[in-house]
C-alpha cells in the first residue's frame, strides 16, 4: 500500500494527501457532476456525502469537505481510501517506456502554439525567446529560427519546447516537419542553451526585485501547487507578479502558450480566479493578466 502524507492547506476546508510519485502531468478538479467513469479513485472519494470536490495534480490529492464535518472524524478514512486506491490502480499517470528517442507534439489552448515534448529533461527552469535576435545564446531556438521563417516565439521549460507560429502558417501544415526536425536535433545531442534559465519555482525573479508579502506567498504557493502543473502541461507558465491589496487583484505574468492565447482570459477568470477565491476567501477578488 502506498504511503500517504497528510498536509493542511491555507483553506481549512481543504486537506492535501501527498503521494511519493507523480499522479498526473496536468490536473483534475472533480465534483459530483463530473464524469468519473475513468477515475476510480475519484469515484471512491466522492461516494462520501461530505466530500464537495477532489483536486488531483502533481503528486497529491486535495479534498474539499463540507463545513459540517470535522477533519479529525474523517481524515484517516480518506487517507486509507486514497492509499488503497493507488495500490489497486497506480493510475492517474501512466507512462509507457519508449525504446527509441521520440518527441511528441501536443496541441495547446492557443491555436498558434504547439508543444513538442521530449522524453528527456531539457532545462532545469524556463527560457522565453520572443524573436530571432534573442536566440543567439539559445542554440535550439536559433536552429528553429534559421530553419523556419514562420517561427515567431519559443518557450522552453523542463522537458518541452513550445513554438509559436506567425500568421503565415497553421500547425496542420507544418507540425510533422517541425516535430521531425526537433527529434533529429535532440537525438543528435543538440545544445539547448548557453545561458542560465529562470528557476521554475520563480520565473519572474528578474521582473520583481523584492520579497513577496505573506499574502503573495500564499497566492504563489496555491499557483505552484494547483495551477502550474496544468498550465505547464499546455506549454505555458503563469506566475504571480504582485497582489494589489486595495483592489484585491492578483496580477499574473503569462508566458509560453499562455501569452496571447484566446482561452487564457477564461482560464484566469473561470479557473484561477475562482480557485484563489476559494482558498483565500475575502482576500482575492480579481485576477489580471500581464503578458510578457
> Per-residue pLDDT averaged across 137-164, rounded?
94
Q: How far is CA 188 from the centre of its chain?
A: 29
Could you tell me which residues are beta bridge partners of residue 236? 256
32 part of a folded domain: yes
204 part of a folded domain: no
- Give the neighbor-by-neighbor strand order of the sheet with 126-129: 103-107, 113-118, 160-165, 151-157, 126-129
> Per-residue pLDDT averaged across 30-50, rounded?
86
Burial per residue of 192-224, b for 16 or more beta-carbon CB atoms within 10 angstroms, e otherwise: bbeeebbebeebbeeeeeeebeebbebbbebbb
Q: Is 267:273 a contact under the CB 8 Å cutoff?
A: no
Q: Is the pTM of this model over 0.75?
A: no
Joined together, the cell numbers standing for residue 153 give 516565439
> Per-residue pLDDT averaged across 35-59, rounded?
87
Q: What is the CATH number of the domain that holds 240?
A: 3.30.300.130
Looking at 35, 64, 88, the residue that finishes a domain is: 88
Q: What is the CATH number of the domain that holds 9?
A: 3.30.1370.70
Could you tell me which residues are beta bridge partners of residue 255? 237
Among 58, 8, 90, which Cα is nearest to 233's?
A: 58
- Per-residue model confidence (pLDDT) at position 92: 62
195 part of a folded domain: no
Same domain as 84, residue 11: yes
- Give the neighbor-by-neighbor strand order of the sheet with 24-30: 5-8, 14-18, 60-65, 51-58, 24-30
Looking at 88, 120, 135, the residue that finishes a domain is: 88
Joined together, the cell numbers standing for residue 102 give 521520440
Same domain as 179, residue 141: yes
208 part of a folded domain: no
Same domain as 63, residue 39: yes
**% of residues, the chain, pLDDT over 70:** 82
Looking at 42, 64, 88, the residue that finishes a domain is: 88
Using the predicted structure, report yes or no on whether residue 267 has a pLDDT greater than 80. no
With cut-offs at 50, 70 and 90, classify the pLDDT of residue 45: very high
95 part of a folded domain: no
240 part of a folded domain: yes
Same domain as 164, residue 113: yes
HEC states along 81-128?
Answer: HHHHHHHHCCCCCCCCCCCCCCEEEEECCCCCEEEEEECCCCCCCEEE
Full residue range of the structural domain in which residue 116 is found: 103-187
With cut-offs at 50, 70 and 90, classify the pLDDT of residue 3: confident
198 part of a folded domain: no
Using the predicted structure, report yes or no on whether residue 161 has a pLDDT greater than 80. yes
Same domain as 107, residue 68: no
Q: Spell out the alpha helix ranges (H) of the chain.
A: 40-45, 71-88, 139-147, 171-187, 214-222, 228-233, 264-266, 273-279
45 part of a folded domain: yes
For 92-125, write each residue's pLDDT tens digit: 633 433 445 688 888 887 888 999 988 788 888 8
Same domain as 119, residue 80: no
Same domain as 78, residue 111: no
Q: Is 287:219 a contact under the CB 8 Å cutoff?
A: no
For 191-241, write each residue's pLDDT tens digit: 999 998 876 444 444 444 457 788 888 888 888 888 777 766 666 677 788
**% of residues, the chain, pLDDT over 90:** 34
Same domain as 34, residue 9: yes
Number of domain units in the chain: 3
Joined together, the cell numbers standing for residue 2 give 502506498
Same domain as 150, residue 109: yes
Same domain as 123, residue 150: yes
Amino acid at each position: 500500500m502506498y504511503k500517504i502524507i497528510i498536509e493542511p492547506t491555507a483553506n481549512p476546508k481543504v486537506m492535501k494527501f501527498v503521494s511519493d510519485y507523480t499522479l498526473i502531468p496536468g490536473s483534475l478538479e472533480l465534483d459530483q457532476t463530473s464524469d468519473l467513469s475513468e477515475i476510480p479513485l475519484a469515484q471512491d472519494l466522492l461516494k462520501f456525502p461530505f466530500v464537495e470536490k477532489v483536486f488531483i495534480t502533481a503528486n497529491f490529492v486535495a479534498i474539499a469537505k463540507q463545513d459540517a464535518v470535522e477533519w479529525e472524524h474523517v481524515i484517516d478514512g480518506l487517507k486509507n481510501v486514497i492509499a488503497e486506491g493507488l495500490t489497486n490502480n497506480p493510475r492517474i499517470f501512466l507512462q509507457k517506456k519508449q525504446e527509441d528517442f521520440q518527441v511528441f507534439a501536443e496541441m495547446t489552448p492557443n491555436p498558434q502554439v504547439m508543444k513538442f515534448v521530449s522524453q528527456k529533461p531539457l532545462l532545469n527552469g524556463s527560457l522565453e525567446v520572443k524573436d530571432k535576435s534573442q536566440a543567439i545564446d539559445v542554440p535550439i531556438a536559433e536552429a528553429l529560427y534559421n530553419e523556419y521563417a514562420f517561427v515567431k516565439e519559443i518557450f522552453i521549460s523542463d522537458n518541452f519546447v513550445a513554438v509559436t507560429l506567425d500568421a503565415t502558417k497553421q500547425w496542420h501544415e507544418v507540425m510533422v516537419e517541425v516535430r521531425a526536425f526537433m527529434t533529429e536535433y535532440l537525438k543528435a545531442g543538440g545544445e539547448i542553451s548557453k545561458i542560465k534559465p529562470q528557476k521554475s519555482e520563480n520565473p519572474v525573479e528578474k521582473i520583481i526585485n523584492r520579497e513577496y508579502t505573506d499574502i503573495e506567498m500564499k497566492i504563489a504557493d496555491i499557483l505552484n501547487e494547483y495551477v502550474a502543473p496544468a498550465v505547464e502541461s499546455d506549454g505555458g507558465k503563469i506566475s504571480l507578479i504582485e497582489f494589489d491589496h486595495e483592489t484585491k487583484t492578483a496580477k499574473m505574468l503569462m508566458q509560453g502558450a499562455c501569452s496571447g492565447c484566446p482561452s487564457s482570459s477564461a482560464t484566469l477568470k473561470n479557473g484561477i480566479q475562482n480557485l484563489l477565491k476559494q482558498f483565500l476567501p475575502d482576500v482575492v477578488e480579481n485576477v489580471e493578466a500581464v503578458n510578457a
